Amino acid sequence: MTQPTPLSSDDNSLAKPAEAGHAGPAGPAFVVPPQPGEDLFAATRKWLLELAHEAERIDHDLPADLAENLDHYLHGLPRK
């Protein structure tokens, strides 16, 4: 037996494939909603927060004026 295939990667839509040896159309599409309380992005969110905390702890060698004198830092023009 073949497994349902996703109709798109943007949602949880599935379609029943045509049976082997049967030339008829595939079955109707249906949506499988996420389970209540299921957080699909928990691992990604945790990783991003850890990355942000690490970035805050690093002593960056950035100029105090940041982008105000960007042309000076990139192209050597006189400071504003």
- The pLDDT tens digits for 46-78 are 999 999 999 889 887 777 777 888 888 888 888
Domain ranges of the chain: 5-75
Distance CA 69, CA 60 (A): 17
pTM for the predicted model, two decimal places: 0.37
Average pLDDT, the chain: 75
30 or 43, higher pLDDT:
43
pLDDT value at residue 27:
64
Q: What is the mean pLDDT of residues 27-34?
A: 70
Alpha helical stretches, state H, the chain: 42-57, 70-75
3-state helix, strand, coil in the chain (%, to 5): 30, 10, 60
